[in-house]
Chains A and B, each alone.
Chain A
Amino acid sequence: MLGPNGAGKTTSISLMIGLRQPTAGAVRLFGLPPTDRRARSRCGVMLQESGTTAVLTVRELVDLFRTYYPAPLPAERAISMAGLGDQAAVRVGTLSGGQRQRLYFALAICGDPDVLFLDEPTVGMDVEARRAFVASVRTLADAGKTIVFTSHYLREAEELARRIVVIDHGTVIADTSPQELKGRVPGKKITLATGRPLAPADLEGLPASVLSVAGERASLLSDEPVAVLRELFRRGVDVVDLEVTGADLEEAFLTLTRRPDAGDTPSR
């Protein structure tokens, strides 16, 4: 589940696991209300805004959580899959932010759940922790587990997901495969400044979507930045400053939300 901050990702996850009640509609997990203990016994969750005791060790806390589930993983396995093997005997209160995040992952998987809900799981993880996390998620997915996770990094979603649901302002704006989504999001952002104010005709008909134009400055999104620039120079636009960068998610959303008719009809 992909979306900028404030898109409604955490709210969606909270609804799915029954931490919040929908104002309309209903949520079912395995055909049960998500608050049902039978449903909860098959779920593992990792939340952004949650805490745990500081004075138990990693191993003790994982062992405690394991008793909540009918057929848990061996504690060593859950701990090593989370990359906390060296910290098993350490008290939770002394863990770093990234290690704490890994602890929550260990707690989420220790019950050997059929479905995992992970809310921004890689926040606070360093490069190495992230790599270990990605490997563990792949292992779990290969073992047939369903993994629902949120992210605001397009690249992370592309790397891990088979299906990406893009949401913004609580609305689904795309529900597709990573390949298809990538194809729909322009790859480059062109920012330029000109010697004289830009006329509307200067930017018309370019293979790009215009993000903003203000006086002598404009920014565009395009998959073919070279073609765009060639055309601009051919038209004799007096470019005095130029920057071409990879488009980030914020811009990707702008194009997705601006051109709803270019792809799926947004569902509301």
Chain B
Amino acid sequence: MSTPGLAPLGRTLVMQTWSEMRMRWRIPAFSVTIVALPVLFFTFFGLPYVKQTLSSGTSLGVYLLASFAAYSVGSVMVFGFGIGVATERALKVDVLMRATPLPPLVAILAKVLNAQVYALLSLVVLIVYGNVVGGIRQHSAVWITMIAWLLVGSVPFIALGFAIGYLSGPNVAPAAANLVYLPLSFASGLFMPLSQLPGFVQRLAPYLPAYHFGQLAWRAVGAAAEPLSVALAWLAGYTALFLAIALRAYRREESRKFG
């Protein structure tokens, strides 16, 4: 990986990722909130129903823990990238970085790796909490499968985060992320099973990205409502859509700032 006259990219990537993690960690308003909120939501919306079972036979506690696991990963991506990108643009961090030999793809990859580590952390906290407080137990292979699918399937929410980050300033980004992500999660059945939501929401849900993202988590606990290929196709489609929006906003800014 080493070329004369160029820094080895592997080392750069490791340092860049490590710096991103330290930066996030030092903003507790972000790092604590992003881990604590899913636990809090699960306490209010999940714990009271732990003893019930769905008509399919799945324990409602397991089902809701999987729902909030999906919510949690999506929120790390949407809020992390949305607010992060908007803030860096406002501080003009991107201007200085562009003038360095750091390849932009390495910078983005470092952000993605950092977000995956935070998502993993928040999943582990949530699962341990569900186990200790809610007595929700599954074979560890179930949780590992769920974590793996959620991390892989998080890509459309990274793209959504970028789109929000490039379309809004640092003051607007948190509100924009909330306005987009909270209703999206609700309407996709991540806060309560779809069967308990109004009929029009039930009909709308299958068109939303968070619904198909939730399927990846529900699949791991044996409660999927659609084949894996269908969920992945929807997520791929939404990735393309959000990426197109993000790229459009990025290019518009590009020509203004660096044209």
Contact = CB atoms under 8 A, between A and B. Distances in A.
Interface of A: 14, 17-21, 37-38, 40-43, 45, 47, 49-56, 60-61, 63-65, 67-70, 104, 107, 111
A16 to B, nearest CB: 11
B15 interface: yes
User: Which of B23, B93, B101, B102 counts the most A-chain CB atoms under 10 A from its CB?
Assistant: B101
A47 B98 CA distance: 11
5 contacts: A19-B258, A38-B5, A41-B101, A55-B22, A68-B102
Contact of A49 (B4, B11, B95, B259): B95
Given A21-B258, A64-B15, A51 B92 contact: yes
B157 to A, nearest CB: 23
Given A60-B19, A67-B15, A53 B7 contact: no
Contacts of B133: none
A224 to B, nearest CB: 46
A52 B91 contact: yes
A47 B7 CA distance: 22
User: Which of B4, B91, B99, B100 counts the most A-chain CB atoms under 10 A from its CB?
Assistant: B99
Interface residues of B, number: 26
A67 B12 contact: yes
B103 A37 contact: yes
A75 to B, nearest CB: 12
B96 A52 contact: yes
Q: Which 6 A-B pairs have the closest CB atoms?
A: A51-B91, A50-B96, A40-B101, A55-B26, A50-B95, A51-B92
B152 interface: no
Given A45-B99, A47-B99, A56 B15 contact: no
B40 to A, nearest CB: 25
Contacts of B259: 20-21
A56 B7 contact: no
A210 to B, nearest CB: 42
Contacts of A54: 91
Contacts of A20: 258-259
Contact of A70 (B6, B15, B93, B99): B6
A70 B22 contact: no
Contacts, number: 85
Contacts of A70: 4-7
B27 interface: yes
Contacts of B75: none
User: Which of A38, A45, A50 counts the most B-chain CB atoms under 10 A from its CB?
Assistant: A50
A49 B12 CA distance: 25
Interface of B: 4-7, 11-12, 15-16, 19, 22-23, 26-27, 91-93, 95-96, 98-103, 258-259
Nearest to A41: B101
Contacts of A14: 258
A6 to B, nearest CB: 18
A53 B12 CA distance: 17
A18 B19 CA distance: 26
A51 B96 CA distance: 7
Given A47-B95, A52-B91, A55-B27, A64 B19 contact: yes
A51 B93 contact: yes
Given A41-B6, A64-B19, A67-B15, A50 B101 contact: no
A185 to B, nearest CB: 33
B234 to A, nearest CB: 36
A56 B102 contact: no
A260 to B, nearest CB: 31
A41 B7 contact: yes
User: Which of A43, A47, A51, A69 counts the most B-chain CB atoms under 10 A from its CB?
Assistant: A51
A19 B92 CA distance: 13
Contacts of B95: 19, 47, 49-51
Contacts of A45: 96, 99-100
Contacts of B99: 17-19, 40, 43, 45, 47, 50
B92 A50 contact: yes
A67 B11 contact: yes
Given A37-B6, A40-B99, A70-B6, A56 B91 contact: no
Nearest to A39: B101
Given A37-B6, A45-B100, A68-B12, 16 more contacts: A19-B95, A19-B258, A21-B259, A37-B103, A45-B99, A47-B95, A51-B92, A51-B95, A53-B93, A56-B26, A68-B7, A68-B101, A68-B102, A69-B101, A70-B5, A107-B96
